[in-house]
Amino acid sequence: MDLFMNIKGQNKAKLLKLLEANTFTFKENLTILNNIKSDNIIGIVLKGYLQIVQIDHNGNRTLIEELENNDVFGSYLSSLNNNEYELITKEESTVILIDYQHIVNYQENSKQYYNNFVKNLLMILMEKMQEKNERIEILTKKGIRNKLLEYFNIISKKRGTNTIYLPYTYSTLADYLAVDRSAMMREIKNLKEEGLIETKNGRIRLLYEKFN
């Protein structure tokens, strides 16, 4: 899903001007906004790879979102608590930043490209919403085992296969599930010993039939 779908080259330029969008390129490993929350902006990743990380008062870092080409981030992040967010480039990245107010306050109606842009943004948000709901479903499961199984179910259903290729490290998975890594490893070991799964490298094969 592309934010600029149905918006041709020169109209895209007009649109970006209309919305007072700014394009930036950042070298890798830079914290480019450490207070996304207070800035009411929408960002679009044109190229690169970034992470949104939350840092609490103990200095614990939680991965909130990963951003790749065409991903959209911003505004909807809670501006209501004291935790800090960091937006970090993990590769050299190019992003477009737009003030959210510029998007919604623009009242003129005749510009096709503007209307398309709003609709595209809506569709992207719908997708993101689904991802958030998936994560909530996993997080609301009680116990590490149930979180893991729910995660496996969702992924395997999505990919249509019983073999799951972790898209990241086990450490990151533990963060995603919001559990202690060593405790998670212990549970994975249990699942293996009980014959419910097999693992090899970052690959997990589910040996049970659909779970719920």
Partner DNA sequence: AGTTAAAAGTTGCAACTGCAACAAAAAAAA
Partner DNA sequence: TTTTTTTTGTTGCAGTTGCAACTTTTAACT
* Interface residue list for DNA (CB under 7 A): 142-145, 169-171, 178-189, 199, 201-202
For residues 49-68, which are near its own copies according to CB under 8 A?
Answer: 54, 56-58, 62, 64
Q: What is the size of the binding site for its own copies (CB under 8 A)?
A: 53
CA atoms 90, 69, 74, 177: torsion sign? negative
> DSSP class of residue 37?
G
Residue type at 50?
Answer: L
Q: Distance between CA 96 and CA 87 in Å, rounded?
A: 14
> At residue 110, what are phi and psi to the nearest 5 degrees?
-85, -15
Of 64 and 94, which has the nearer Cβ to its own copies?
64
Selected from 121, 166, 185, 196, the binder of its own copies by CB under 8 A is 121
Say whether residue 10 binds its own copies (CB under 8 A).
Answer: no
- Distance (Å, whole) CA 75 – CA 77: 5
Question: In terms of CB distance, is 26 or 124 closer to its own copies?
Answer: 124
Binding piece for its own copies, criterion CB under 8 A, among 28-36, 89-97, 132-140, 194-202:
132-140
With CB under 5 to 8 Å by kind, the binding choice for 109 among its own copies, DNA, none is its own copies
Tell me which of 19, 77, 88, 164 binds its own copies, using CB under 8 A. 77
Which contacts qualify for 126-133: CB closer than 8 Å, 24 or more apart? 127/1, 128/72
Q: What does 167 interact with, of DNA, its own copies, none (CB < 5 to 8 A by kind)?
A: none
- Separation between Cα atoms, residue 28 and residue 45, nearest integer Å: 14
- Among the listed residues 20, 9, 6, 39, the one whose alpha carbon sits nearest the alpha carbon of residue 106: 20
For the bound state, the minimum distance from the C-beta of residue 50 to DNA, rounded and expressed in Å, comes to 16
125 binds, among DNA, its own copies, none (CB under 5 to 8 A by kind): its own copies
